[in-house]
Chain A
Amino acid sequence: MMHNPLRPTSPLRLVDAPPAPSSATPQPIIRVEDLSIVFDAQRGQIIAVDRVSLDVMSGEFVSLVGPSGCGKSTLLNAMAGLERPFEGQVMVAGGPMLGRRPDVGMVFQQPHLFPWKSVRRNVAHGPRALGKSKTEALRIADDLIEMIGLTRFASAYPHTLSGGMQQRVAIARALANQPRVLLMDEPFGALDAQTRAVMQDNLLELRDRINATIVFVTHDIDEAILLSDRVLIMSAGPGRILRDLCVNLPRPRSSAILTDPAYLALKRDCLDLIRTEGRKAFEQMETAT
């Protein structure tokens, strides 16, 4: 869903998200209900996600932020159907996340491109897997490759590309199936600050063109606020959602807002929350060992 130009462009404010009004609003496309995920480790069980419930509305851009090890990836993987719920459930577009769900796309922290395929064939992989003809799949791929500005590299193999280029290909590949939901796990985490800023602007631009709901994991609070409609702050293990913050910033946004004083004040509040949580997590680890 595109940005609504009629939305009040109120002064920079981070406020708790209001409870979703009942009518005339987009339906939740992702519904996480009482989800717990438990791992078996050597020293007993680890509760990575602890009874988390959340809704993501159709068209929303939601970020998950929290200290390292708090269960962000695990929660996202559960939304992708890559992690089995221990308790509770994940519904995407009304259905459970079981089996193949090509309407849900994923971009991982590492690009994970198929090294034996050219850029073109990597992007065409999804449509081919879904039974589209070769010509059709390659046409989709070429359009997306143009969109990410890598037409010159269409026939190159992944290992000949830089990290940023590879991650762009990974995004294009995930978009090739026209997913209704795009899950992104620290997709820019491995990039340098400069490339990262360019990629963020690219993603904002891209988002206006594709019609997808995006859930974005990051531990960079700037990135989260810049990109999102909502920021979910997770508490340290066991993973819970601590705060659900609505970002009322005008769109289109660019990295320019990052120097706005009001923005900075709000960022400080966010950081304090995360820092307290991080310290708690650290102390828990200390006492556990």
Chain B
Amino acid sequence: MSAGGRARANAARRLSVLVGALSVPAFVGLWELVARSRIVNAVLFPPPSTVAVAVLDWIHSGQFFGDLSASLFRVTAGFAIGATAGIVLGVLTGEFRLVSSLLSPLFHILRPIPPIAFVPIVILWFGLSETGKLFLVVWGVFFTVWLATHIGVHKVDRGLIRAALMLGTPRRQMLSEIVLLGALPYIVVGLRTAVSISFYTLVAAELAGAFAGIVYRIEIAQQNMQTGQVMGGLAALGLLSFVADRSFAAIAERAVWWR
């Protein structure tokens, strides 16, 4: 590449970094301008400054942390239970043909039903209790992690299994070490998908009726026409799920530690 070409490529890269850094502030600024210019209805499209005030009020009122911890609990507990069950059953169906014949057809029928569709029946079963909300998140997470683990177990290098067999590896260690770690790269991908699924199902669970939670707060604010609070809630949810995805990506990178 010529010197001129390289300089041009450098300039282009610097420009794109600059544009990237300005993207969000520019959008927020434009929104503020449009909302204040009264081109749009400011009650329905409150300017970002109003949203910020609503968020501060939310935090000062003390409700924010209650809502945050309620939502966080549902997501993390649901994720932990669903992921654990998914991994355990994935290893079992992946490794034992009989277990697979028993469960896989059932799972394959249930898996494609969007978890949100279960909201009505969950309300009938569990009412507005926490159990019902956990159930929805667990349900959503489970199938994704189960399928990823099941496939991962099938993709485990047969050579590793044979090598482990020849070294006298006991059956239990075979499952808990060779099969599980062999499938880990696939499981991690499934877990990462399940992180965003756990947030989808959280929304469904809280919309179905709750007493605290970020999505619950959004719904209440909507009923009171507090659009600033609604958007503040959306921003908080977006930030939360963004942080969850990024931290999981960082963990995932280290989970497959040998690469």
Alpha-carbon gap, A82 to B181, bound state (A) = 22
- A115-B258 contact given A106-B163, A110-B159, CB 8 Å threshold: yes
- A114-B178 contact given A108-B163, A157-B258, A159-B259, CB 8 Å threshold: yes
20 A-B interface contacts by CB (under 8 A): A80-B166, A82-B162, A100-B170, A106-B162, A106-B166, A108-B163, A112-B162, A113-B163, A114-B163, A114-B181, A116-B257, A116-B258, A117-B258, A125-B169, A126-B167, A129-B168, A130-B168, A158-B258, A173-B163, A173-B167
Nearest A-chain residue to B257, judged by Cβ? A116
- A114-B168 contact given A157-B258, A159-B259, CB 8 Å threshold: no
Alpha-carbon gap, A125 to B173, bound state (A) = 11
Per DSSP, chain A at the interface is: loop
Question: What would 19 more interface pairs be, CB under 8 Å, given A80-B166, A82-B166, A126-B167?
Answer: A100-B168, A101-B168, A105-B167, A106-B162, A106-B166, A108-B162, A108-B163, A112-B157, A112-B159, A112-B160, A113-B163, A114-B178, A115-B258, A117-B258, A125-B167, A129-B173, A158-B258, A173-B163, A177-B168
Alpha-carbon gap, A126 to B163, bound state (A) = 10
User: Hey, which chain B residues are within 8 Å of A108, CB to CB?
Assistant: 159, 162-163
Interface residues of A in 108-149 (CB under 8 A from B): 108, 110, 112-117, 125-126, 129-130
CB of A250 within 8 Å of the partner chain = no
Measuring CB to CB, which residues of chain B are less than 8 angstroms from any residue of chain A? Answer: 157, 159-160, 162-170, 173, 178, 181, 184, 257-259
User: Hey, which chain A residues are within 8 Å of B164, CB to CB?
Assistant: 114, 125, 129
CB of A214 within 8 Å of the partner chain = no
Please state if A116 and B162 are interface contacts (CB–CB under 8 Å). no
Q: Which of B165, B170, B178 has the most C-beta atoms of chain A within 10 angstroms of its own C-beta?
A: B165
Please state if A129 and B162 are interface contacts (CB–CB under 8 Å). no
Please state if A129 and B170 are interface contacts (CB–CB under 8 Å). yes
CB of A85 within 8 Å of the partner chain = no
Query: Which of under 10, 10 to 19, 20 to 34, or 35 or more describes the interface residues of A?
Result: 20 to 34
User: Hey, which chain A residues are within 8 Å of B257, CB to CB?
Assistant: 116
- Shortest CB–CB separation between residue B183 and chain A, in angstroms? 12
- Shortest CB–CB separation between residue A71 and chain B, in angstroms? 18
Alpha-carbon gap, A117 to B173, bound state (A) = 14
- Shortest CB–CB separation between residue B52 and chain A, in angstroms? 47
User: Hey, which chain A residues are within 8 Å of B184, CB to CB?
Assistant: 116
Alpha-carbon gap, A255 to B52, bound state (A) = 80
CB of A14 within 8 Å of the partner chain = no
- Shortest CB–CB separation between residue A143 and chain B, in angstroms? 17
- A129-B163 contact given A114-B178, A116-B257, A159-B259, CB 8 Å threshold: no
User: Which of B169, B173, B181 makes the CB contact (< 8 A) with A116?
Assistant: B181
Please state if B166 and A174 are interface contacts (CB–CB under 8 Å). yes
User: Hey, which chain A residues are within 8 Å of B157, CB to CB?
Assistant: 112
User: Hey, which chain B residues are within 8 Å of A106, CB to CB?
Assistant: 162-163, 166
- A100-B165 contact given A115-B258, A116-B181, A129-B173, CB 8 Å threshold: yes
- Shortest CB–CB separation between residue A145 and chain B, in angstroms? 16
- A82-B167 contact given A112-B157, A112-B159, A116-B257, CB 8 Å threshold: no
Alpha-carbon gap, A158 to B160, bound state (A) = 13
Nearest A-chain residue to B256, judged by Cβ? A116
- Shortest CB–CB separation between residue B184 and chain A, in angstroms? 8
Interface residues of A in 56-115 (CB under 8 A from B): 80, 82, 100-102, 104-106, 108, 110, 112-115
Please state if B258 and A129 are interface contacts (CB–CB under 8 Å). no
Q: Which of A101, A113, A115, A177 has the most C-beta atoms of chain B within 10 angstroms of its own C-beta?
A: A115
- Shortest CB–CB separation between residue B74 and chain A, in angstroms? 33
User: Which of B160, B165, B170, B258 makes the CB contact (< 8 A) with A82?
Assistant: B165
- A104-B166 contact given A110-B159, A112-B159, CB 8 Å threshold: yes
Alpha-carbon gap, A90 to B81, bound state (A) = 47
User: Hey, which chain A residues are within 8 Å of B162, CB to CB?
Assistant: 82, 106, 108, 112
User: Which of A102, A116, A157, A158 makes the CB contact (< 8 A) with B167?
Assistant: A102
Q: Which of B160, B168, B184, B259 has the most C-beta atoms of chain A within 10 angstroms of its own C-beta?
A: B168
- Shortest CB–CB separation between residue B155 and chain A, in angstroms? 14
